[in-house]
Amino acid sequence: MAAPPEKARSDGLLGRTPSTALVLGGIASVQFGAALAATLFDRAGPAGTALLRLVFGSLVLLAVWRPRLTGRTRAELELAAVFGLVLAGMNLSFYGAIDRIPLGIAVALEFVGPLTVALAGSRRRLDLVWVALAAVGIVALTRGGGHGLDALGVALALLAGALWGTYIVLNARLGQAFEGGTGLALAMCVGTVAVAPLGIVEGAGGLVSGEALALGAAVGVLSSAIPYSFEVEALRRIRPAVFGVLMSLEPAVAALAGLIVLGQRLGGRVLIGIALVIVASVGAARSGREAAVTL
């Protein structure tokens, strides 16, 4: 997520909350939202769950930002549309991944995307250390435990990471072209339309049950509305490099959410792999690249 221009601290509760607490709260919201989403898979499937998340996330962002199409250039609208398609692919691939492999492992593998963006074009020898640590961590993750990971799940997590890296690059441009969260609100609507056919087919009648709608609304708020609001406020007062270091904690929080909500216990080798990815991400973030965003 691109940092907005410097502004005075906002009034209200968010404005009085320490920026570090906002970032950590956003991380927890995203990962526990992902764990809650996994509980919907039996009813609506990964694609149906992604659709519910995008629908409710879009409704919240539309209500908050009230974006308008009038007065926008064709290039700006095309940027929002492409960003929306990236959001759609990222949600579909990530939910497909956590349907097949544990949440903590999926998020650690997904971090390959932001890590690549953070180190892209670097000529510092020290950054080779972060690449090596991440590579060792990924090997530990994919070969850990008493049985092999689902290959398609690993591939989907890596695809989600590639799309996350694309999201980072496009989000920086979106933040310059649109004020506030108006661009994201438009992009979420495009993503919703893109995911709808697959989500409706896979989710079928499970999408319209009261329980699925309630859980879908909770996932949309936890995974989109809350973390985005927290991060926008935090980025007014915190350096992007510090933000990136804090965001590197996501795989650890994801592992905790997977344990608490889904009962996913991870072996020592996998936990070491997650730790190596976190260290690599912290090192990359401290290189000063502005490359941290939420799923």
For the residues 205-218, what does the mean pLDDT come to?
89
Q: Work out how many domains the chain is built from and give that number.
A: 1
Q: Specify the higher pLDDT residue, 208 or 196.
A: 196
For the residues 126-139, what does the mean pLDDT come to?
86
271-285 burial: b if 16+ Cβ within 10 Å, else e: bbbbbbbbbbbbbbb
Q: Per the structure block, which two tokens stand in for 188?
A: 């979420």
The answer for residues whose C-beta is within 8 angstroms of residue 94's C-beta and 6 or more apart is 34, 106, 110, 156, 157, 160, 295
pLDDT of residue 7: 41
Confidence band, pLDDT 50/70/90 cuts, at residue 209: confident
Structural domain for 53, as ranges: 20-285
Look up tokens 């509760």; give the residue.
Answer: 13
57-95 burial: b if 16+ Cβ within 10 Å, else e: bbbbbbeebebeeeebeeebeebbbbbbbbbbbbbbbbb
Residue 206 inside a domain? The answer is: yes
Confidence band, pLDDT 50/70/90 cuts, at residue 234: confident
Confidence band, pLDDT 50/70/90 cuts, at residue 295: very low
Residue 2 inside a domain? The answer is: no
Residue 15 inside a domain? The answer is: no
Q: For the segment 177-188, what is each residue's pLDDT rounded down to a tens digit?
A: 888 788 889 999
Q: For the segment 221-230, what is each residue's pLDDT rounded down to a tens digit?
A: 999 878 877 8
Residue 99 inside a domain? The answer is: yes
Q: Is the pLDDT of residue 289 over 50?
A: no
Q: Per the structure block, which two tokens stand in for 256?
A: 């905790």
Confidence band, pLDDT 50/70/90 cuts, at residue 5: very low
Q: To the nearest whole percent, how much of the chain has pLDDT over 90? A: 47
Residue 111 inside a domain? The answer is: yes
Residue 113 inside a domain? The answer is: yes
Residue 1 inside a domain? The answer is: no
Are the beta carbons of 223 and 53 closer than 8 angstroms? yes
- Distance, in Å, from the CA atom of 278 to the CA atom of 151, rounded to the nearest integer, reads 22
CA angle 194, 229, 260 (to 5 degrees): 80
Residue 7 inside a domain? The answer is: no
Q: For the segment 79-128, what is each residue's pLDDT rounded down to a tens digit?
A: 999 999 999 999 999 999 999 999 999 999 998 888 887 777 677 778 78
Are the beta carbons of 125 and 275 closer than 8 angstroms? no
Q: Is the pLDDT of residue 144 over 60?
A: no
pLDDT of residue 148: 67
Average pLDDT of the chain, as a whole number = 85
